[in-house]
Chain A
Amino acid sequence: MYDTIIIGKGPAGISAAIYLKRSNKHVLVIGKDNGSLYDGVMIDNYYGFPGGITGTELIERGVKQATEFGIEVLKEEVIAIDKLDHFTVTTNKNTYNAKTVLLATGKPRTTLRIKGFQQYKGKGISFCVTCDGFFFRGKRLALIGFNDFMLHELKDMEFLTDKITVFTNGNPLTVPVEGYPVIEDKITEITGDGEIAKGIQTENGHYEVDGIFIALGSPGAVDFATRIGALVEGTNLVVNDDFQTNIEGLFAAGDTVGGVLQVAKAAADGMHAAIALKKLLKK
């Protein structure tokens, strides 16, 4: 059991990890990619780097600093978190347990910009099989996705119905799907009767369905957190002055909570969250 699992290896996540580790907390960092600090980004307004530093190098230095302190940093993709008496974090490779979780995944970058999507959200389009699946027992369901995240949702969906079609929206399938049709066309529209969604229009055909579940790309902090009831405003997780969400033990820091999207602010968030986490773990 870890004291804290930190999801995200950017400035917020790694800063928090370092502060926690130096207080002898048992921490694990799980990060998939560099998020918005990719190679093409030059950071030239952060303290201590004359001439600037690329996003990739900054991340690499942060990870190196963390591992030199003895912090485990795993390159895995988190696909779900859950909370019963403690937190479980499920990745594409394993499941980890922790007393607390810090979400520092940055801003989500996957949305579906197609006609009908905004209109039918919550009216036939759902983002959470375990939350809304109940309303679609025995119905014809579409699952939009192409990777481990999709497969995780597909497993939950099999309890509801066997009439499932997977739509990859033009993405190549990266996981095996057995027993269900897979449509690899690009989706052009979510069709409906004005009140609820009724189908999926792709480049090459129309498919009538009763419900549409989205598990596209990589889930971000907001995806994990809303499934267990965290409060979200717009695209930001809502936190208190201690960077704790409305769920005890679930913290968030950095771009995930909004404000200025800057390295200095993310690092400061991470530090503040770590101090609050230490207090909570002492209880």
Chain B
Amino acid sequence: MAITITKENFKNVVLDSKEPVLVDFWAAWCRPCQMLGPIVDSLSTEVEGLAKVVKINVDEQPELANEFRIMSIPTVLVFKNGKVANQAIGVRSKDELRKLLGV
């Protein structure tokens, strides 16, 4: 399962990570997010040890959604060395997400 991120653990888990991190911005009411959720969870198991896969609920974490100017969900951001290295909007396949992570 992908880890849930809040503004309290964001720096520690995402920005300071040595491995690339894929962040899924989602909300419970968003239909496409509901389809992407299981794909992201499955990816998190697949890339364990190589990369991190995490989720941010935009309803619960509006500051983080705002900071990264999220305007459409699901949005996926890939962080490498604390910076956004890749992004995608909408439901994507596991292979495509893995390519974004580059692992």
Contacts and interface: CB of A to CB of B under 8 A. Distances in A.
B73 interface: yes
A231 B93 contact: yes
Given A230-B91, A232-B91, A233-B93, A132 B72 contact: yes
A231 B91 contact: yes
Given A229-B35, A230-B35, A238-B93, A195 B69 contact: yes
Interface residues of A, number: 25
A75 interface: no
Interface in A200-238: 211, 226-233, 238
Interface stretch (B13-21, B26-34, B43-51): B26-34
A41 to B, nearest CB: 32
Chain B's interface size range is 20 to 34
A132 B65 CA distance: 12
Nearest to A238: B93
Interface string A151-183: 000000000000000000000000000000000
Interface stretch (A7-15, A47-55, A94-102, A118-126): A118-126
B32 A211 contact: no
Contact of B75 (A122, A196, A227): A122
A131 B69 contact: no
B47 to A, nearest CB: 19
Chain B contact surface mostly: loop
Contacts of B35: 228-231, 246-247
Given A227-B31, A227-B32, A228-B31, A132 B73 contact: yes
B1 interface: no
B73 A229 contact: no
B31 A135 contact: no
Interface in B30-87: 30-36, 58, 65, 69-73, 75
Contacts of A227: 31-32
A134 interface: yes
Contact of A122 (B58, B65, B72): B72
Contact of B73 (A121, A131, A246): A131
Nearest to B69: A196
Most buried by A among B32, B34, B73, B92: B32
A132 B71 contact: yes
A135 B92 CA distance: 21
Nearest to B35: A229
Interface of A: 121-124, 126, 130-132, 134-136, 195-196, 211, 226-233, 238, 246-247
Given A122-B71, A238-B93, 15 more contacts: A122-B75, A123-B72, A126-B71, A131-B30, A132-B72, A132-B73, A135-B71, A226-B91, A227-B31, A229-B31, A229-B34, A231-B91, A232-B90, A232-B91, A247-B35
